[in-house]
Structure 1
Amino acid sequence: MKTAFATLGLALLVFAGCAGQKKTEIDFIQDNIDNAVAQHTLQTDIIEKSGKVLNPRTIDKDGSIHYIPIDDWCSGFFPGNIWFTYELTGDKKWIPLAEKYTEALDSVQYLTWHHDVGFMIGSSYLNGYRRLGKEEYKPVIIQTAKSLSTRFRPGAGVIQSWDADKGWQAQRGWKCPVIIDNMMNLELLFEASLMSGDSTFYNIAVSHANTTMKNHFRADNSCYHVVDYDPETGEVRKKQTAQGYADESAWARGQAWAFYGYTMCYRYTHDAKYLEQAEKVYNFIFNNKNLPEDLVPYWDFDAPNIPNEPRDASAAACTASALYELSTYVPNKGYKETADKIMESLGSPAYRAAVGTNGNFILMHSVGSIPHGAEIDVPLNYADYYFLEGLIRKRDLEKK
């Protein structure tokens, strides 16, 4: 009888422990949903009272909210954040706001002078299509893919990121600069191929991913930020940085873009080499001696004044979101657990702002471009975007 009671007691303790753990996970998710709702309610109230469609990206040095035009590369993230808020809450009051902010970007589908239309329309229209099945969003996504495809340079096998004949880019002597960020824009091409049945988009995406894999990565699996090509011959002219500390340094968000990008490429192609590349980038990031214990990286892994350098919550959030996806392809390697640790850090008071502060953005302590003196230790709408996407992926995995 003693043995039976002892066994029963042990079982109850185990059950209580599991229940407690599950409750903690639920509390974490719900707490962050509640926080997002509070911040986005404040943010959208300001926008709606203005009578305009404003698009918040960050805060200025005086603490005021910085709004951007629709052709800014970050213009899709705030609409995306509202779609995510709808998905996390199921509250239909967010739908008309998400639709309005998304549809304000309609003309982006014809933009051909930079590569970031994938970010812009993918974060907004594609999220709207995925959540509501809005058929009228499909032509916009497909036309955007056509516009992005005009930047494909067949001789080099890549999508040119920036025009190099004007602005600060013209001063660098580039012909066909390709930045690692461009991996993120391939998702739009893959989706447009599925929607339209046109394999051209798919083939361009694969060509770009393969060429980038060949030329962007170092022996230690870190990546360059910028590789400049001869657009006719495909010759690599230069390997440099624009937003990192130095040409040979590892810019933190660049590693996150690479990690997320190749994980996403595997989703659409099931090509094992993309999965292997994602895992190689993971190993660089998480075995790096300069990665802090809370797993939120400094803005560059080789920045000269570590540990007295700004962190980049946007890089951490992007990495966490990708880790949740990777964990579904490669289970039992601790990828989800690593993502959970990052999310716990970002959801803590060290990085998550108190309601009503931080320009009503969710996360603090991100970095745009230190070499340009822009957006240093500020909130960024794309940090919030990948944090919320990570929260959705975490919740969905734990429901299973």
Structure 2
Amino acid sequence: MKIKQHLGFISMLAIAFTACQQKPAETDNFLENEIKNIEAQHTLQTDLIEKSGKILNPRTIDEKGNIVYVPIDDWTSGFFPGTMWLDYDLTKDEKWKKLAEKYTEDLDSVKYLKWHHDVGFMIGCSYLTGYRLCKKPEYKDVIVTAAQSLSTRFRPVAGVIQSWDADRGWQGERGWECPVIIDNMMNLELLFEATRLSGDSTFYNIAVSHANTTMKNHFRADNSCYHVIDYSLKDGSVRNRHTAQGYAHESAWARGQAWAVYGFTTCYRYTHDKRYLDQAEKTLNFYLNDKNLPKDLIPYWDFDAPEIPNEPRDVSTAACIASALYEMDGYCPGKNYKELADKILKNLSGPDYKAKVGENGNFILMHSVGSIPHGAEIDVPLNYADYYYEEALIRKRNIENNQPFSFVNE
């Protein structure tokens, strides 16, 4: 099937996803309350930024509760601008649109970044979200250029996009040659969109090659996924199956499972290749059926962490899973994925995980984990947890209003 035909399924799937259903009043109240909370926190957050006279990009808080800001080449730099776009979509308030444009356009030079793979996160969450909502033509050019930069990391012998430079920083100590992390599945949407926007099938073909190779090599027999697969640049063979942020090489790092579920669901949206949806479901089933998943569906940072139940939870994983579940619900009728997502959102919105206004560094959600092996960002808010939480809220709202699952208005 031709690329154009594959991408034509996107509109069809979005329509098919919107099954007619009554919108209960309690859902209206839930969303209204969450939107009010988000606006209150983000008003405090952006007031601090605007008063500084600088464009600051909040990522988390430090051990003293101070807000940590990151430069534009940090892998998380697209999430806060992205949440401004999501705020605009939730409220239609021009205030958030103007801030979204300001913070997004500060990332313009990221489109040339070639020394790591995360331009998909950085440009996808900011520029691509903005383009979908406002169709600014200059954003299209940034998206395509960023996809070109990401494509320079494609290693044709192995058939994958290399995640990290093996000789850079702590990665250089591991002896890796071509490390590929499961997180990279989240960057493929940028490539699929670049083909749709430019007509150049090169990006699509790279994304499919990477997804296929990841599906072949990244998963265990129980359909949990490894964090890092190290490939040989000479012959494409697997040299190592490791972790960087999980408890152990053979453990199931929680957020890695979320990246896999979300990433392969996205691949199905663009290709209509059922193998991708099947893999997303298999990994989701591992996630949901693991004996160490708490009843509230907010996982510990690693399913095999040694001190469960006295291990930190990872809210960022749950937010990402919830967002993916709303999309999966449209592709898998009768499996009640929406009900699961609703349960996760309800729990995330409760006092155990949602911060009070004015606390938590003005981030929405508490209790995420960055990397315990690196001693970094343990039991703190993280901007990507907030991003996927808001995205999940929008998908929930749209489903219940008989609109496409996403905030995309194509």
TM-score when normalising by structure 2? 0.92
Which residue, out of 124, 127, 130, partners 1:125? Answer: 127
Match of 2:75 in 1: 73
Question: Which residue pairs with 1:183 in the alignment?
Answer: 185
What is the CA distance between 1:166 and its match in structure 2? 2.1
Q: CA deviation at 1:27?
A: 1.0
Greater RCO, 1 or 2 (C-alpha within 8 Å, sep 6+): 2
Amino acid at match of 2:150: L
- Alignment partners' CA distance in 2, 1:168 and 1:27: 47
Residue aligning to 1:149: 151
CA distance in 1, matches of 2:93, 2:333: 32
Aligned match of 1:309? 311
How far apart are residue 232 of structure 1 and its match?
Answer: 2.6
1:160 aligns with 2:162: yes
Superposed CA deviations along residues 67-108 of structure 1, whole A, max 9, x for unmatched, are 000000000000000000000001111111000000000000
Give the 4+ runs in structure 1 shifted more than 2 A: none
Aligned to 1:203: 205
TM-score normalised per structure 1: 0.95
Structure 2, gaps ≥5 residues long: 1-20, 403-410
Read off the aligned partner of 1:200 and give its amino acid letter.
T
Counterpart residue identity of residue 323, structure 1: L
1:10-29 equivalence runs, <5 A: 22-29=24-31
| Offset at residue 26 of structure 1 (A) | 1.1
Distance in 2 separating the partners of 1:319 and 1:206: 22
Match of 2:261 among 242, 253, 259: 259
Aligned AA (2:369): V
SS at match of 1:364: coil
In 2, distance between residues paired with 1:78 and 1:231? 35
Distance in 1, Cα, partners of 2:75 & 2:218:
22
Residue in structure 1 matched with residue 61 of structure 2 by the alignment: 59
Which residue of structure 1 lines up, in the alignment, with residue 397 of structure 2?
Answer: 395
Identify which of 220, 235, 239 aligns with 2:222.
Answer: 220
Q: Output the amino acid matched with 1:287.
A: N
User: RMSD across aligned C-alpha pairs, in angstroms?
Assistant: 0.9
Q: Distance in 1 between matches of 2:238 and 2:95?
A: 50
Q: Specify which of 81, 84, 87 is matched with residue 89 of structure 2.
A: 87
What percentage of aligned pairs have identical amino acids?
73
Contact 1:42 1:356 in 2 (8 A): yes
Match of 1:382 among 381, 384, 387: 384
**Amino acid across the alignment from 2:85:** W
Q: How many positions carry a matched residue from both structures? A: 382
| Structure 1 gap ranges (5+) | 1-17
Question: Can you list the C-alpha shifts for 1:171-193, whole angstroms capped at 9, x where unaligned?
Answer: 00000000000000000000001
One-letter code aligned to 1:279:
E
Deviation string 1:22-73 (CA, Å, 9 cap, x unpaired) is: 1211111111111100000000000000000000000011100000000000
Partner Cα distance (2:141, 2:188) in 1 = 17
Residues 153, 232 of structure 1: 8 Å contact kept: no
Map of 1:245 onto structure 2: 247
Residue 10 (structure 2) aligns with: none
